[in-house]
């Protein structure tokens, strides 16, 4: 397989995952409107949508088409992920929040790797130079810190009997 074909597959996979990640972020935001997670993940979803647009433009610049099969598969996988056992039959639970934040963290970690890989690829693909890859890498780093803090709080809500929201001083620093 040629280097271009590897890059094509890699970018198609990440684009498909970005669409699934956006769907997951929107779900988390919509299911958490009554707590701080909702607003913060809603803002994150907007960033993910912008990043997916940048990735789509990168595909165009490299003359790569998104894979319809991979995109559909990623959307189906995200929908199937909603069927996890969360100790509730038909409603969202504190366990749902924890598991979905973990899933979103995995997506952001993959996105960090994508932006770093594309920064390395700039030497061989000058068509990547116009894209703000360093900014996107840094944004992914901040997004992961936010998701780790939200996950920390969600776990505390999960294990507390009174379901109260934790105080900021209970949260470890993002570098921990």
pLDDT digits (tens, 9 = 90+) for 122-159: 999 999 999 999 999 999 999 999 999 999 999 999 88
Q: How is residue 65 annotated by DSSP?
A: P
Q: How many helices (H) and strands (E) does the chain have?
A: 5, 0
Q: Give this prediction's pTM.
A: 0.82
Mention the CATH class of domain 3-170: mainly alpha
**pLDDT category of residue 172 using cuts at 50, 70 and 90:** low
Give the least confident one: 17-31, 67-81, 90-104: 67-81
What is the structure's pLDDT at 163? 57
Sequence-distant (6+) residues with CB within 8 A of 52 are 15, 18, 19, 22
**What does the pLDDT look like over 46-80, one tens digit per residue?**
999 999 999 999 999 999 987 565 555 555 556 55
pLDDT over 90 percentage in the chain: 65
Question: Domain locations in the chain?
Answer: 3-170
Longest CA–CA span in the chain (Å) reads: 57
pLDDT at 162: 59
- Which pLDDT belongs to residue 93? 81
pLDDT of 24 above 50: yes
pLDDT band of residue 5 (cuts 50, 70, 90) is: confident
The per-residue pLDDT for 168 is: 45
> For residue 29, which of 14, 45, 17, 16 has the smallest C-alpha distance?
45
Q: Read off the pLDDT band of 103 (50, 70, 90).
A: very high
Please give the pLDDT value at position 90: 61
Distance of alpha carbon 72 from alpha carbon 62, whole angstroms: 22
Contact 65, 108 (CB under 8 A): no
pLDDT at position 169, please? 46
Does 10 have pLDDT greater than 90?
yes
């Amino acid at each position: 397989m040629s280097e271009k074909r590897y890059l094509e597959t890699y970018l198609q996979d990440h684009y498909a995952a970005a669409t699934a990640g956006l769907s997951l972020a929107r779900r988390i935001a919509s299911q958490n409107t009554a707590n701080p997670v909702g607003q913060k993940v809603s803002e994150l979803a907007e960033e993910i949508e912008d990043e997916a647009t940048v990735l789509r433009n990168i595909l165009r610049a490299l003359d790569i088409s998104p894979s319809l099969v991979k995109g559909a598969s990623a959307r189906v996988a995200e929908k199937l992920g909603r069927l996890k056992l969360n100790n509730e039959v038909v409603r969202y639970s504190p366990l749902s929040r924890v598991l979905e934040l973990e899933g979103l963290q995995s997506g952001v970690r993959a996105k960090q790797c994508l932006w770093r890989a594309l920064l390395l690829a700039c030497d061989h693909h000058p068509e990547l130079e116009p894209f703000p890859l360093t900014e996107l890498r840094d944004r992914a780093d901040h997004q992961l810190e936010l998701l780790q803090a939200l996950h920390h709080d969600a776990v505390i809500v999960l294990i507390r009997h009174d379901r109260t929201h934790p105080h900021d001083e209970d949260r470890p620093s993002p570098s921990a």
